[in-house]
Structure 1
Amino acid sequence: MKLRHWQQQCVTTALSLYQTQNHFFCLATPGAGKTVMAASLTKQMLLSKKIDFVMCFSPSTQVNESTRATFEAILNRRIDGKLGSLGSVQTYQSMNTLTPTFWSLIEEHNVMVVLDEVHHLKGHELPCANAWGEEVLVHIQDKAAYTLAMSGTPWRSDQAPISLARFTEPDNTIHCDFSYGLADAIKDRVCRIPQIVLVDNECINVSSENTSECFESISDLLTNSDIAYQQLVEDEQVIRYMLTHAVEKLSELRRTEPNSAGLIVASSIKHAYFIEKLLNTHFNQSTEIVTSKHPDANERIERFNHSNTEWVVSVGMISQGTDIPRLQVCCHLSRIRTEMHYRQVLGRVLRATSTEPQYAWLYTLDHWKLAEFAQRINVDLPEVNVVFKNAENLNEISENDNEVSSKTFVRSPIESSINISELSTSEVCGNLPNSFSSSPYSEFSITGRFKQRVVALFT
């Protein structure tokens, strides 16, 4: 397999640095092809007899399958963990179930450990590590012959250090041995040019007891009322407006690229089912839905990947590492508003499928924080200084590895009281305003004109 220029550069750099160090950290923008680079580097390490085996870890089984396929194609050997294979592919979740016999392989042989989306591993020492970081510190650090860490978003929203990472002093910013940013990837036609559409409204009325007030923007509303962001993304008017423009954009793209597709990131399972129903009945779009309640989630993702279905609606199942190159339009209707999640969602539509310039479209609400994220998409490492905590400060460290913003976060009333598996189809796809009417917050109505502004970087 012929490597892209950046992939060959990264492999060459790693081989050189491995002469004097055993850990290598690669930042490569989502969609750039990190897995191909990792497999090619592993092949060179095997050919030079520096390693005997390779162990790969990632945050999901879906990413694992993609990793296994890529590695086996490039190495021309199995890495299924069975007798005669060159190694194995595991999820981070499975680490605490692995036996001492498994871990002893790292100490008894020259093993290269590949850690994908390494920002999930928290902690530079045991007292402040999360569960996955602890497993890496105990079983891999100082025991593996070589380690390769990769991420497109190499920082954590809680500002905790990433396991195995090195940090520059005195500002405690992360050190990357090799960086391939989005600007480079767009220039090389590896990634599409992002166009971020921020949706706002000129008048949102909030009624509480005998008072009524009009807010002139979404940011004004969320700053100066008790309306929660989640209420907005679950509002039918907002959903219909955003879907209308996203569907129009996808239809336009499919006139020249017939297999282009779109992704809707929903805030809850019931929210996802409502959006799917709207897409089917009101917009006449074909859909696939993928949630944690689907035992065949991976099969659904693969089916969508190799189909001509227009939209996939997901709640957190199609995120980092999921490779569906035909995705080109995304509606971000999730309640999660961290910069890491924002960039990972955008990354799902960035992978280029042509050597000609292509655009990726992300539709999101014009919340001040999301607008700020959009404006600095061209910055590969935002100014997030790592905060090192000692044992006395452990109770200050967030253990929320989903990194959900605590500000205005509200658990959906339907999720806390209803088991989706117990609902009939009609109940799941019921009228959205009734479904979410149990919100404890003030009522609001959108009476103003919707408007859009496009953040167009890299042009």
Structure 2
Amino acid sequence: MSRLRAWQEDALREYALWTPVGGNGFLVEATPGAGKTRLAIEIACRALTSGRIQRVVIAVPTSRLEGQWAEEFGKQGVSINPGWHAGDGRLASDERGCAATYAEIAKQPESYRKLVSEKLTLVILDEIHHCGSDDRAWGAGARIAFEPAVAKLLLSGTPFRSDNDEIPFVNYVDGVGAPDFRYGYDRALADGVVRAVFFPRRGGHMEWTAPNGAAKSATFEDKLSDRDAAHRLRTALSPNGEWLPSVLGEANTQLTELRTVDPEAGGIVFCEDSFTAREVVKMLRKIGQTPILAISEEPEADGRIKVFKSSKDPWIVTIRKVSEGVDIPRLRVGVYVTPWITELFFRQVVGRLVRIRPGEDDPTAYLYIPDDARLREMAAQIKLQRDHILDQQEADLLGTSMTGVLDEGDGQISISLFSPISATPTDEGVIVDSDTITPADLANAEQVKRMDSTTVVMPTALVAVLLRNAGASVTTFTVPSQESGEVPFERKERLKKQNNTAAKRVAAAHGIVHSHVNARLNKLVGVSSIRQCSEEQLERRLRFAQEWLAAGSLTEEG
């Protein structure tokens, strides 16, 4: 086997000193990509060799992981049957154990109880948090099936959510789940075990028709009710708007840049449903890419994921098929195109991008996210751990479901009554380690890259971080004037960003909606959208906003 990492050696020492309490297991909470599977197999192989156990049973949330665990054990000469079912009777004589999904175990827990009772058995419960949040039957089935096992190893790479369902075999202290060994993202990042993930945020101006027929519009800066916030997000993610193709284009540009020095670098798009996924495939094809589509309703999806993992194909598009447990270390760019707003799912998505390959010169990754306040907070808090806390109901931040959205009362309104109209994207910067790298920071970094050949191959966001850490401000390199080569398009893009920032400041200063400020500015210069502005109109528009800030009131002089 490959050499153990320092944290895995530490965990092995803790495991050797650990004493079970009340039939509970040894809980390892380690950030995705750190190597939990490698640790578990090391523990199992040592126990098999010493005779402390005679059998291994692995419980997993998805059928794909059954084969993945069997494959990894097989590399060490340990035969694990990933397709064993209770009706098959005994395991074959050359098989040291089996892998099964929590759903299978919940259907016939007594059969698995008999299996672990026949011999001294180590049970590995992978992604154990599912037994407390996905299905109560999973937790109940696991408890019945594995209570007799002589050893239980619990693994989780995702923070536990708060609910009333106790996770089987977890030790609770005053209602709080207590990991026996914890290896967080911050330590893993410092150790060079995982990649640093940047979160480019993309805002926008969205318009939609509410279920009651009302026409609404908002940016991600506007404070809305949960229902309206859900509609705003769905509008941004709609394949019929401008937001999605624009963000896909930016993500593709980032991936193309990475692939100039890392030809194997891959990108992944997480979609809400098969319709959106297929539309995303069409959009990527329009910009010259040939993405792999892997959605669960297609039987060949698992095979496509396996092919993508070992190929050099640039893009894979999925729904939730690759959200957890699938190991594709070459993924370095992701796009979040789903309204699922839960910390559990968000961290699973991030986990697909943090896995690092040996010898990587540039251990960075990018997840493009809508500038929704809830996603923004999750991205900023990604390094923090979460404990499983009993007796605290935590509502999903979603505000929507696959079938409907909540009314102001307790009833349901069909999602079909909601209709997105348009979504125009804006650049809101990049979240790095809970701090935001602004568009101005990024523009400054681009200037540095053009002027300093040593930074050309470095990611723009990383250059911006280095400049900020070195104390360089956005004025370190001034934006070129017309005489120094700035072309009209570049000047207009700069003016649009300055307009956007000024409008936000006006809205915050006067306590009014950002979209109303934009609408008034557009009216003053004679356009219906900032995209229609000439350079002169952009300059006038900016002057109005600056004068409003200076005067403390919204006048129409200028």
Q: Residue 192 of structure 2 aligns with which residue?
A: 189
Residue 447 (structure 2) pairs with residue 441 (structure 1): no
How far apart, CA to CA, are the structure 2 residues paired with 1:266 and 1:440? 21
Q: Residue 61 of structure 1 aligns with which residue?
A: 63
* Count, aligned residues: 411
How far apart, CA to CA, are the structure 2 residues paired with 1:412 and 1:306? 39
Alignment map for 1:44-443 (pairs within 5 Å) = 44-74=46-76, 76-80=77-81, 81-98=91-108, 100-122=110-132, 130-141=136-147, 143-156=148-161, 158=163, 160-169=165-174, 172-201=175-204, 203-206=205-208, 214-217=217-220, 219-220=222-223, 225=228, 227-235=231-239, 236-280=241-285, 282-355=286-359, 356-381=361-386, 385-387=389-391, 405-411=397-403, 439-441=416-418, 443=420
Farther-moved stretch of structure 1 (302-311 vs 63-72): 63-72
Deviation at 1:23, TM superposition (A): 1.6
1:112 match: secondary structure:
strand
- Decide whether aligned partners of structure 1 residues 221 and 380 sit closer, same or farther in structure 2, where only a CA change above 3 A counts: same
One-letter amino acid of the structure 2 residue matched with residue 59 of structure 1: P
How far apart, CA to CA, are the structure 1 residues paired with 2:297 and 2:6? 41
- Decide whether aligned partners of structure 1 residues 45 and 195 sit closer, same or farther in structure 2, where only a CA change above 3 A counts: same
Q: String of CA shifts for 1:339-392, please: whole Å, max 9, x gaps.
A: 01000001001101144441110011111111111111110226x63227xxxx
Deviation at 1:94, TM superposition (A): 1.4
Does structure 1 retain, via aligned residues, the 8 Å contact 2:162–2:389? no
- Decide whether aligned partners of structure 1 residues 293 and 213 sit closer, same or farther in structure 2, where only a CA change above 3 A counts: closer
Q: String of CA shifts for 1:199-240, please: whole Å, max 9, x gaps.
A: 112x43456799766534355366584735323212431211
Deviation at 1:159, TM superposition (A): 5.8
- Decide whether aligned partners of structure 1 residues 406 and 368 sit closer, same or farther in structure 2, where only a CA change above 3 A counts: closer
Using structure 1 for the length normalisation, give the TM-score: 0.82
- Decide whether aligned partners of structure 1 residues 252 and 406 sit closer, same or farther in structure 2, where only a CA change above 3 A counts: closer
How far apart, CA to CA, are the structure 2 residues paired with 1:82 and 1:219? 62
1:450 match: secondary structure:
strand
Does structure 2 retain, via aligned residues, the 8 Å contact 1:230–1:410? no
Unaligned ranges ≥5, structure 1: 389-396, 414-437
How far apart, CA to CA, are the structure 2 residues paired with 1:294 and 1:13? 43
- Decide whether aligned partners of structure 1 residues 360 and 191 sit closer, same or farther in structure 2, where only a CA change above 3 A counts: same
One-letter amino acid of the structure 2 residue matched with residue 456 of structure 1: V
Q: Residue 530 of structure 2 aligns with which residue?
A: none
Deviation at 1:404, TM superposition (A): 6.3
Q: String of CA shifts for 1:229-264, please: whole Å, max 9, x gaps.
A: 323212431211110111011001101110010110
Deviation at 1:98, TM superposition (A): 4.4
Q: Residue 28 of structure 1 aligns with which residue?
A: 30
Q: String of CA shifts for 1:53-72, please: whole Å, max 9, x gaps.
A: 11011111222222111122
1:191 match: secondary structure:
coil
- Decide whether aligned partners of structure 1 residues 445 and 221 sit closer, same or farther in structure 2, where only a CA change above 3 A counts: farther
Q: Larger relative CO (CA 8 A, sep 6+): 1 or 2?
A: 1
2:280 match: secondary structure:
helix
1:451 match: secondary structure:
strand
How far apart, CA to CA, are the structure 2 residues paired with 1:101 and 1:225? 48
How far apart, CA to CA, are the structure 1 residues paired with 2:296 and 2:245? 25
Does structure 2 retain, via aligned residues, the 8 Å contact 1:246–1:330? yes
1:323 match: secondary structure:
coil
Unaligned ranges ≥5, structure 2: 82-90, 406-414, 435-464, 466-558
1:195 match: secondary structure:
strand
Q: Residue 537 of structure 2 aligns with which residue?
A: none
Q: Residue 501 of structure 2 aligns with which residue?
A: none
One-letter amino acid of the structure 2 residue matched with residue 278 of structure 1: M
RMSD: 2.8
Deviation at 1:410, TM superposition (A): 5.0
Deviation at 1:101, TM superposition (A): 5.0
- Decide whether aligned partners of structure 1 residues 354 and 16 sit closer, same or farther in structure 2, where only a CA change above 3 A counts: same
Does structure 2 retain, via aligned residues, the 8 Å contact 1:261–1:310? yes
How far apart, CA to CA, are the structure 2 residues paired with 1:412 and 1:277? 27
1:63 match: secondary structure:
helix
More helix by share: 2
One-letter amino acid of the structure 1 residue matched with residue 67 of structure 2: E
Residue 17 (structure 2) pairs with residue 16 (structure 1): yes
Does structure 1 retain, via aligned residues, the 8 Å contact 2:56–2:124? yes
How far apart, CA to CA, are the structure 1 residues paired with 2:306 and 2:78? 23
Deviation at 1:176, TM superposition (A): 0.3
One-letter amino acid of the structure 1 residue matched with residue 69 of structure 2: T
Larger Rg: 2
Q: String of CA shifts for 1:164-192, please: whole Å, max 9, x gaps.
A: 212222xx222000011111111121100
- Decide whether aligned partners of structure 1 residues 283 and 82 sit closer, same or farther in structure 2, where only a CA change above 3 A counts: farther
